[in-house]
Structure 1
Amino acid sequence: MGSELNSWLVTIGIVGFAFILRLVNLGRPANLVFDETYYAKDAWSLLQYGYEGSWADDSNARILNGDLSGLSPDPSFIVHPQLGKWLIAAGEALFGMNSFGWRFMPLVFGCLLILFTIRVTRRLSRSTLIGAIAGLLLTFDGLAFVMSRIALLDIFQASLTMLAVWFLLMDRDWYRTRLANYLRDHGLHSLNGQLGPIFWFRPWRLAVGITFGLAIGVKWNTAVLLAAFSVLSVLWDYGARRLAGARIQAWPGALIDAAIAFVHQVLVAVVVYVLTWWSWLTTSGGYDRHTNANPLLALLKYHGEIWAFHNGDFIRGATHTYDAKPIGWLVMARPIGIDAVNDIQPGTDGCPPGGENCLRVITGMGTPVLWWIGVFALAAAIVLWLLNRDWRFAVPVVGLFAAWLPWFPNSERPVFFFYAIMMIPFTCIAIALCLGALIGRPGGPRRVAGAITAGVVLALVMLNFAFIYPILTDQLLTYSQWRMRMWFASWV
């Protein structure tokens, strides 16, 4: 009990620090940046109508002046589900239609992402120290920091996905505990080739299905992670049944467990996903709402149009300055410019007189040292999982590749580096687990050297984060100071 309490105190301490770090100047800049122009405005419309209305062309400038008259009830075609925008709307309901209001819930979920990552890592490693390392790495990642401070959807998707993974690990422990209890209650040392018990209701699997359904209700591509982790969880069930002595009967057991997983996770996720459209279904003004008398069939038609948008010729023929092909995401080949005020003249807006021009930028980039160490940690995690048969490393490997690889077939269309927010929690878990392997058990021969290595990694990440902090937070820089942080031509 004391160990569990201490682990939660450490978790809350790290998350509290991350909250304060991210809260500073959250409302700056006051204008809508990048895709906030869609999601913050859609969120406000949801509060007014229950669906996404239309805004006048000059609405961004009006909103900056507190004028919300640009919103009309005419329906707007939107290309992502509603839940993420409802979460943004919760902050706007609390603090108003302003930059602090629309960024508050991303801040909350950015901190929850750190909390869930710590708890996942601790459950994998059974070590508060290793969980804390993962949490600190994510706290000082530049991309996670920026995404916690702007009103985009991806931070909600990442947080809910990591919560689902945490629940999945709880289910793994629950299942193995129930198998062990079955053997004990029946006075058995093993199943002796028998199938063993079937657990038709698994509460943590149900929680997984609900949470993944919510995450898909933010962005569709979460479905790939649901599929990947569902397969992995069934393999865990198969391994547990074999370990208990089911032998050849572990295969039919796995088929039954797979069916149970499908119901608990996939079917439940589908139901939850549909429910995330509740406000569209129960109001009358949404886009395509009246294409069928049956609202569910109308919603299905609408989904066909959304799918066509994401996969049609228009989007595939589009171009964007910050298009970042997924092949370069692991090494952060092309960060994204979120907002910029360029060519601030000397002597104005705080720019030192008599010198060079200045600028203010928000750059969506990870902490380089962290991402580059993460490449080596990912390679090590693959080896430790597949060759050393250490099941724990499957979680960051499966999670990262399920979040990354599906973007390759879509790379004909513009894709952006900030989508990699789904990858970086798994990277931090991989690094933490690898450092844990170096540190070893208390009193072990590698303990001191491993601890020093972990300390050096954390120190390098923190120092690197401090160096790039000005370009993550809209701070005034001269062009020379900005160039010092743009290490490669592809970053500019």
Structure 2
Amino acid sequence: MTSGTDAVGSPDTRPVAAEQPAAASVDLADERAREAAGADLGTDAGAGAVLAPEPEPAADAERAAEAEPVADAEPESRGTRLDDWWARMLATPRRRALWYWGGPALVVLLAAVLRFWNLGHPQAIVFDETYYVKDAWSLWNNGYESTWPDGADEGFANGDTDTFSDDGVYVVHPPLGKWMIALGMGLGGAESAFWWRATTALAGTAAVFILMMVARRLWPSTILAVFAGLLFAIDGNAIVMSRVALLDNWVMLFALLGFWFVLLDRGWARDRLHRGLDAARASGYEPHYGPALWSRPWVIAAGAAFGATTAVKWSGLWFLAAFGLYLVLVDLLARRRAGVPFWATGALLKQGPVTFLLYVPVAFVVYLASWTGWLTTDGGYDRHWADDPANRATGVFSWVPLALQSLWKYHDSAYQYHIGVHAEHPWQSNPLTWLFMIRPTNMYFASTDDGSGGCGGDTCWSSIIGLGNPLIWWAAAAACLYLVYRLARYREWQVGLILLGLAAGYLPWLMYLDRTVFQFYSIAFEPYLILGLTAVAGLILGDRDDVWWRRERGIATVGVYLVLAVLVSAFFYPLWSAMPITPDFRQLHFWLPSWG
């Protein structure tokens, strides 16, 4: 049984070799060995083995005493017939490789189908696409967001896509997400709704794959990786946010990439710390503070990813800050575990500045690069604000280029806008209710009353509602609340890392309870909700060494839950994809009064 903590303040007691070397995926040979033994039906020897704490010696002795076999008593059987069948199914290297890659590949294929099928419907500007699609297209053509005439939405949807002017328009979000939306239109044209949503759908599909790689890294198990990916693939919030051209899916994708890179850095940095310490001690020198690790490519990659997150929406700054602190804390605990005499000083004053230089500047460069179009052209809104001698900086900041002074003024104005948004909106929601999905966002509604709608009735309604699968969302919320207790009780590093991702994406919104915000912002932290649910599912599954009845119940519970979740997603899919349905059937989906 293994256990460990890291960013949660307790030593990781696992041997160094227990954590896999830093790579984009776990070692296939090790994974095959586990699956050949049937362990993958849970996780790395079962999820319980990864997450459960080491028993205390006294408790272990008591268990051993209680486990003394009574004379003539038969030992209780372990595992199930399903475990035996699974071991036989993965008995050859070819089958193990097929499952190792084939399972995730099938989940990614399912995610792609649910996101790309009929993506061009409706051929209309949906909800906040009115800002981001048109801004993206003018950005692609002019290098900056430009003004459009009144009533441009309908014309754009009908193919009249070039009515923008050369005048810059005031926008309040950085450009990167709009550049990503524009990429699809640049490839396929702006006339089709498919192409203005294509890259966002691709981002949602890619996120499913990345989430499975993250899950496999947390718990070396293809079963749990597929479990996490499948839930993310079929959840309504993730599907809807992949089928409309808004910015939040890009926030989610880049933040998840950064999370993955931070996770990969754990093993990379630990191995190099031990190599440096071993080399110093072999030469007769005791490194009192430990080495300064400059070779940390995953830290640089994480900084770039979180910089890209911020270049989509400023909420990405919270991810950058949270995981920057996490990197320092991981280094601190790693040096303590390695026996470095002045581990705190070494981590904070020696490695800390190095990590900062590897992490923050690259994030700033990526963020600033997203404004290249605005900086290198002349038509952007307030682009020449600082050209006026009355506006430009004097004194210590007078050396700053005028373009950057204008950009700073733009940022100050956008910040004032963000903190002052209090306009009422019929679909706004309180962040306190997001985990429980009380008020989803209705993004699109259309009705036909002449029998031509295609739903089999005279009246047909089509909707796009940002509503998650209730079984997934409510179970994930409950699982993460349980993990808060589990973190306090057992201090498991996997749980701490998952909850940190959730906190970075969610808790900052609690400072803006009176601001106009929407449920669909929750897509930024949904991957960590799914990982929290996966952690609890792994505990329920247990491992092959559990007594047969406990193991059987765990497998049955998780299996039944998955089947029900898939059926509920199939039931709700029409409301996520604007399929025409009858009003009565649509009403059956409103399980809470606040959903309608």
**TM-score, normalised with respect to structure 1:** 0.94
Instruction: Please give the secondary structure, in 2, of the residue aligned with 1:361.
Output: strand
Q: Call closer, same or farther: CA 1:29–1:415 in 2, change over 3 Å.
A: same
Q: Give the corresponding residue for 1:301.
A: 409
Residue 430 (1) aligns with residue 532 (2): yes
Structure 1 position 123, deviation (Å): 0.7
Contact in 2 for aligned 1:144/1:421 (Cα 8 Å):
yes
Residue 31 (str. 1) matches residue 124 (str. 2): yes
Equivalence for 2:418: 310
Work out whether residues 205 and 265 of structure 1, in 8 Å CA contact, stay in contact via their aligned partners in 2. Answer: yes
Question: 2: distance between equivalents of 1:284 and 1:378?
Answer: 49
Q: Does 1:491 align with 2:595?
A: yes
Q: Which amino acid aligns with 1:182?
A: G
Task: Find the residue that maps to 2:504 and give its secondary structure.
Answer: helix
Give the conservation status (yes or no) of the 8 Å contact 2:280–2:286. no
Spell out, residue by residue over 1:362-416, the C-alpha distance to the aligned partner (whole angstroms, 9 max, x if none): 1001110111101221022212222111110112211112211111222212110
What SS does the aligned partner of 2:581 have? strand
Q: Which residue of 2 aligns with 1:223?
A: 317
Deviation at 1:193, TM superposition (A): 8.3
Q: Which has the higher contact order (CA 8 A, sep 6+)?
A: 2
Residue among 522, 546, 552 paired with 1:444: 546
Counterpart of 2:200 (choices 103, 106, 109) is 106
Deviations 1:173-232 (A, max 9, x none): 1011112333444567x9988322221342110111111111110000111111112112
Matches within 5 A, 1:158-169: 158-169=252-263
**RMSD, matched Cα:** 2.0
**Which residue matches 1:331?**
436
Alignment of 1:90-169 (within 5 A): 90-97=183-190, 98-169=192-263
> Does structure 2 retain, via aligned residues, the 8 Å contact 1:84–1:217?
yes
CA distance, structure 1, for counterparts of residue 172 and residue 343 of structure 2: 46
1:83 paired residue among 163, 170, 176: 176
Q: Deviations over 1:321-369 (max 9, x none)?
A: 0010001001100000010014x3252423545x6x4311110011101
Unaligned 5+ runs, structure 2: 1-27, 33-96, 388-401
C-alpha spacing 1:386/1:22, structure 2 compared with 1 (3 Å): same
CA gap of 1:76–1:65, structure 2 versus 1, over 3 A, is same
CA–CA distance in 1 between the matches of 2:268 and 2:337? 15
**Structure 2 vs 1, CA of residues 276 and 170 (structure 1 numbering), >3 Å: closer, same or farther?**
same
Indicate conservation of the 8 Å contact 1:194/1:245, yes or no. no
**Letter of the structure 2 residue corresponding to residue 141 of structure 1:** D
1:18 and 2:88 matched: no
Once the two structures are aligned, what percentage of the paired residues are identical?
38
CA contact (8 A) 2:289 2:350 kept: no
Contiguous gaps of at least 5 residues in structure 1 = none
1:292: Cα distance to partner? 2.0
Within the alignment, does 1:57 sit opposite 2:150 as a pair?
A: yes
Structure 1 residue aligned with 2:383: 289
Equivalent residue number for residue 93 of structure 2: none
Could you tell me which amino acid in structure 1 is paired with residue 593 of structure 2? A
Give the equivalent residue in structure 2 for 1:262.
356
Q: What is the CA-CA distance between 1:475 and the residue it aligns to?
A: 1.4
Contact 1:322–1:336 (Cα < 8 Å) also in 2: yes
Structure 2 counterpart SS, 1:195: coil
Within 1, Cα distance between the matches of 2:286 and 2:279? 15
Task: Determine the C-alpha separation between the residues in 2 that align with 1:435 and 1:181.
Answer: 36
* Separation in 2, partners of 1:8, 1:239: 34
Give the partner amino acid of 2:241: M
Q: TM-score, normalised by structure 2?
A: 0.78
CA distance in 2, matches of 1:84, 1:282: 19
**1:241-272: CA deviation from partner (whole Å, max 9, x where unpaired):** 11111254334323433222222222321121
Q: Does 1:407 align with 2:509?
A: yes
SS of residue matched to 2:379: coil
Amino acid at match of 2:310: I
Name the stretch that deviates more: 127-136 or 241-250: 241-250
* Counterpart residue type for residue 535 of structure 2: L
Amino acid in the other structure paired with 2:438:
A
Are positions 1:468 and 2:561 aligned together? no
